Structure 1
Amino acid sequence: MSRPLRALTAVAACLAATAALSGCVSTSMPASVAGKGGLPPSITEDKELKVGLSPDFPPMEYRDEKTSRVVGVDVDLARALGAELGLKVTFQEQKFDQLMNSVTTSRVDMVMSGISDTVDRQETVDFVDYFDTVGRFYTLPGRADDFRDGDDVCGRKLAVSKTTDYYGQALEYNKRYCTGKGKPAIRVLPTDSGAAARLQLEQKRADVAIQGGENLAFFERTEPGRFKVVLDPIPAKPFAAVVKKDDKPMARLVLKGFRQLRADGTYQRILKKAGMAYGSMAPTFNGVED
C-alpha cells in the first residue's frame, strides 16, 4: 500500500559485508549487544520477534478467505527472517494507523505492513528498506485504449486512496504533466482505501486509478482480467520494516537477517512466488533521502 507502510557484530566498517549496500546503520554499537550471536535487549530473554501488521493489503498481508489465516509476502518474509535469526515470530494485528505508535511504544519489536520509508516518517521511526515498489495506473479493460500517453489522464477522474503515498504522487503527477503544461487538471477522487478506489472505478465514477504494482499483480492472479494496467510505472518509496527510532541493535538485527535471506535466495523465492520479483532490492537502512 505504499501506505499513508534491522549478529550484531562490530560496526567499524558499517558491517563490511554491507559494502555493496547504500547505507550504514550506526558506528557506535553498544558493547552489550556487539558480540557474536548477541540479541537486542528487548528480545534477549524470550527470543521472540513481535511483528505488527494490518492484514488488509494483499498480497503483502491479508486474511485467507478459506482458512481465515493471515498470509502474504510480509508474513512469509517475517517468518523466514525469524527462522534465519533463530527467533520465534508472533504477529499482532492492528489497524494501520496504530502501527507506528505500536513500535514507538515497544508493544511490537517491528512492523511489516506495506509501509513506505519516507523522510517525514524517519523523524519518529527507523526503517530497513526491503522492497522496491512502484505505483501503476490502471483502469477497466474496456478503457485501456483511452490511456496510451502520459497526459491522457489529464482532465480525467482518478481514484486513489488518500491514506497512501500514491495520493501525493497523483497530485505531483497532475502538477508536472497536466496543469504544469497547460493541460486540464486531473480530477482526483480521494478514497478511504484501495478497495474504495477500485469500487469507484468499477462503478464508473472514475476513469482511472492508481495503486501499487504488487496489488495489481495479486489481482491478476486471483481475478484475471478484472483490471488493466496502463502507462508507465510511477516511482514510489520502498516498503520497509519499521523499528523504534534509534534502536540500533534491532535495526542491525533486521538488516542482517534480510541480507542473509537475500544471499541464500529465500528472499527472491518469496517475491517470485508472489509475482513481485521486479521489486527485489538490496536492504538498506533509512535509504530514502531528501
Structure 2
Amino acid sequence: MKRLFIPTVLAGLMASTCVFAALPAAIKDKGEISAAIVPNYPPMDFKDPATNKITGLDFDLGNALAERLGVKIKWQETGFEQMLSGLTTKRVDIVLSGMTDTAERQKSVTFIDYFTSGPQLYTLAKREDLKALTDLCGKKVGTSRRTTWPSEIAAWSKENCEAAGKPAIVVIGTEGS
C-alpha cells in the first residue's frame, strides 16, 4: 500500500473544473502546498545566476499546479537525501525536483512520471576519437551517483562493449572506478 497519495491527487485534479473542493482538507486549510525542491539540476530546477531565484521546469510546473488548484505554493529548498523523508513525515506535501522512479522508492511514495530521461553523454566537439557510442568502451565517464545512470551505463557497456570483447566503460565515482 502506498503511504502518500497527494501527487496522484494533484495530477488527477489538473483536469477538474472544481479542483479546490476536491483538495485534501489539510491543504485547503493551509491554503498552500509545500513543495520540496533541490535547485541544482538544470533545466529541471536551478537558481538563475543573475537573480539567484529558483527557476526551471519543475518550478514552473509547481507554480502552474498551485494556480490551477487555487492555492499558494511554498517552495522548500532541501537536500536530495531529505526529499522522500520530508514527504513521508509530512514536512512537505509534494516533491517537485528531478528524481528517478525506482521500485525501492515506490515502497514509500507514489510517483507521477511526467518526464522520462536517461543517461546522456557529452564530450568536447574537438574529440576526434569519439564518433560512435562504442568508442566509449574502455573510457572513463562521469555521472550522478544518485541516479540509475551508473547501472544503466554499466548494463549498456556489458552488452555493447564487453560482449564484443572490448573493455568496459568505467563510471567515475562508483565502485571499481
Q: Quickly name the TM-score band, shorter chain normalised.
A: 0.7 to 0.9
Amino acid aligned to 1:95: G
Does the 8 A contact of 1:54 with 1:95 survive in 2?
yes
Residue 7 (structure 1) shift: 7.9
User: 2:122 corresponds to which residue?
Assistant: 138
User: 2:160 corresponds to which residue?
Assistant: 177
User: 1:161 corresponds to which residue?
Assistant: 144
Amino acid aligned to 2:87: V
Q: Which moved more, 1:92-101 or 1:112-121?
A: 112-121
Does the 8 A contact of 2:161 with 2:167 survive in 1?
yes
Percent identity of equivalent pairs: 39
- What is the CA–CA distance in structure 2 between the aligned matches of 1:186 and 1:36, rounded to whole Å? 51
Deviations for 1:15-70, whole angstroms, at most 9, x for unmatched residues? Answer: 9x8xxxxxxxxxxxxxxxxx982211331212211100111111111111221111
- Which structure carries more strand by proportion? 1
| Aligned partner of 1:186 among 166, 169, 175 | 169
- What is the CA–CA distance in structure 2 between the aligned matches of 1:98 and 1:160, rounded to whole Å? 21
| Aligned partner of 2:78 among 94, 97, 103 | 94
Q: CA RMSD in A?
A: 2.3
User: Where does structure 2 lack aligned partners over 5 or more consecutive residues?
Assistant: 1-7
- What is the CA–CA distance in structure 2 between the aligned matches of 1:79 and 1:119, rounded to whole Å? 28
- What is the CA–CA distance in structure 2 between the aligned matches of 1:51 and 1:43, rounded to whole Å? 12
| Aligned partner of 2:51 among 59, 67, 78 | 67
- What is the CA–CA distance in structure 2 between the aligned matches of 1:95 and 1:113, rounded to whole Å? 11
Indicate yes or no: 2:45 matched with 1:45: no
User: What TM-score, normalized by structure 2, do the two folds share?
Assistant: 0.82
Which SS does the other structure have where 1:62 is aligned?
Answer: strand
Which SS does the other structure have where 1:161 is aligned?
Answer: coil
Indicate yes or no: 2:64 matched with 1:80: yes
Deviations for 1:65-95, whole angstroms, at most 9, x for unmatched residues? Answer: 2211111110001000111111111100101
Indicate yes or no: 2:131 matched with 1:148: yes
Amino acid aligned to 1:92: Q
Which SS does the other structure have where 1:43 is aligned?
Answer: helix
Greater RCO (Cα-Cα under 8 Å, separation 6 or more) = 1
Deviations for 1:226-261, whole angstroms, at most 9, x for unmatched residues? Answer: xxxxxxxxxxxxxxxxxxxxxxxxxxxxxxxxxxxx
Does the 8 A contact of 2:119 with 2:153 survive in 1?
no
User: Where does structure 1 lack aligned partners over 5 or more consecutive residues?
Assistant: 1-5, 9-13, 18-34, 192-290
Which SS does the other structure have where 2:101 is aligned?
Answer: coil
- What is the CA–CA distance in structure 2 between the aligned matches of 1:66 and 1:7, rounded to whole Å? 35
Spell out structure 1 runs of 4+ moving beyond 4 A.
none
Distance verdict in 2 for CA 1:177–1:105, change over 3 Å: same
User: 2:3 corresponds to which residue?
Assistant: none
- What is the CA–CA distance in structure 1 between the aligned matches of 2:130 and 2:171, rounded to whole Å? 16
- What is the CA–CA distance in structure 2 between the aligned matches of 1:102 and 1:176, rounded to whole Å? 38
Q: Which moved more, 1:166-175 or 1:35-44?
A: 35-44
Deviations for 1:76-121, whole angstroms, at most 9, x for unmatched residues? Answer: 0100011111111110010111111000100000001111211221
Deviations for 1:157-191, whole angstroms, at most 9, x for unmatched residues? Answer: 11222222211111111111111332111122127
- What is the CA–CA distance in structure 2 between the aligned matches of 1:98 and 1:7, rounded to whole Å? 22
